[in-house]
Chain A
């Protein structure tokens, strides 16, 4: 399977614990995104990487959240001191873009993984 892979698929944790999710993008893609989706809502942008550089963070990404993409391959999203409000589906997506700025052309489609469902009890 050459699609975007996310692990684990499901995670149940107690409030206050730390959790880490992993995303393996499509191999030739240089851009990787993290989104969060709650019930009845569309995905909301959290952060993205161009290769190994984290180029933007949403205001939704509080200090308890951190994301890394070492060597521009897989990425991890860590949530520290989880709260019940963190319960959601965490989605990873990847795409290929020509360089850091894409104003000249359209944005290429992003392909999503199956997500990690986090439940904080």
Chain B
């Protein structure tokens, strides 16, 4: 069964304290891995797409990496405005689905000044 697991569930950092969020996945035939940011009461905001192992993408203080089994979202010198829930998603791998996303439960990041 296709599955996405994110850890930790919650992460509290001091401003400037770098860390990483993990997303492990089980899917047959990975056709992309997506990272989204979600603020309370709002829809997910697209951050990155990774398509193959070894690929890396960067945006401001965020860097996403991908291996054959997991992805990491590295946050360098975070600021309070980086506080949000970060969601990881992969398209389903079974033959009946065409790109429908399976999401993890997310990591709720809090950055204190």
Residue of B101, B104, B105, B106 ringed by the most chain A CB atoms within 10 A: B101
User: What are the interface flags for A27-67 relative to B under an 8 Å C-beta threshold, 1 for contact and 0 otherwise?
Assistant: 00001010100001111110010100001101000000000
Size of interface on A: residues with Cβ below 8 Å to B? 36
Q: Contacting chain A: which of B13-21, B72-80, B92-100?
A: B92-100
Write the chain A residue with the least CB distance to B47. Answer: A109
Is A25's beta carbon under 8 Å from chain B?
A: no
Chain B residues with a Cβ closer than 8 Å to the other chain, count: 28
Report the stretch among A14-22, A69-77, A97-105 that lies at the interface: A97-105
Which residues of chain B have C-beta atoms less than 8 A from A95's C-beta? 99
Chain B's closest residue to A110 (CB) is B101
The CA of A43 and the CA of B100, in the complex, are separated in Å by: 11
A35–B24 Cα gap in the complex (Å)? 21
Which residue among B4, B31, B100 has the maximum number of chain A CB atoms within 10 Å of its CB? B100
Binding site for B on A (CB under 8 A): 4, 6, 31, 33, 35, 40-45, 48, 50, 55-56, 58, 91, 93, 95, 97, 100-103, 105-115, 117
A-B contacts, 19 of them at CB < 8 A, read: A35-B101, A42-B87, A42-B103, A43-B44, A43-B89, A50-B98, A56-B97, A58-B100, A95-B99, A97-B98, A100-B98, A106-B31, A106-B32, A109-B34, A109-B46, A112-B43, A112-B44, A113-B43, A115-B41
Closest 5 CB pairs of A and B: A42-B103, A112-B43, A107-B99, A106-B32, A107-B91
